Amino acid sequence: MLNFYQEIKLLPEEEIPIHFLWSKVYQQIHLGLVAMQDDQGRVPIGVAFPEYVQGGRSRLPADVDALASRSTEKFGVLGGKLRLFAEHEATLSQFNASHWLARLSDYVHCTSIRPVPEKPVGYATYQREQPKASKERLARRYAKRHKLSYDAALTCYQPLTQKPLTTPFIRLESLSGGQRFCLWIKKTAVEKPSKGDFGSYGLSAVATVPDF
């Protein structure tokens, strides 16, 4: 069971928008989790986004609504808070979120480590969602298959069945190659807690975190 948590509140400013701050904060959290990986790439800390909204501006809390863009009716938002969960208080102390976020200290507030409420509202999994191949990638395949130029393939190839993801995402940079990519994060509410492994982004398709 995940018995302890620490909450990180993002403090965006006019020149530091929330999406940019999420990129910087989560990149640092990821670095810290990588440092705690075991030989199988597992980490003892899971993450949650208590202000997560799958879409629909009307469901946003009042203090989050100001952070949301006009597209929230189609696309979800993460809100402005991140929670780190662990079974033992010592695990979160060892992780030391304030250390990893030290250079962002003006833009985040880390609470003390606290016990999880005895009766949370529910439980949820937060997992990475992989989009289908982009139109550009599909066009490159189409060009190669039909011996066309990329520009010609991009013009004539119009996939009609592909639906865009509406889950929230964070723009990150690969630690290995330095490429920029989107980390799409899907939340699924469940009735009962379930154990499992968390990866280096604190996400899992199986392991639940308390929802409150």
**Residue 95: how many CB atoms within 10 A of its CB?**
22
Please state the pTM of the whole predicted model.
0.79
What CATH number belongs to 4-131+167-211?
3.30.70.2540
Ordered by start, the domain boundaries in the chain are 4-131+167-211
pLDDT at 150: 72
Alpha helices in the chain (DSSP H): 18-35, 62-65, 89-95, 97-100, 135-146, 150-156
pLDDT at 175: 84
- The residue with greater pLDDT, 39 or 162, is 39
- The residue with greater pLDDT, 184 or 61, is 184
pLDDT at 154: 63
Instruction: Provide the CA 156 distance to its chain's centre, in angstroms.
Output: 34
Gap between the Cα atoms of 163 and 134, Å rounded? 10
Gap between the Cα atoms of 16 and 77, Å rounded? 17
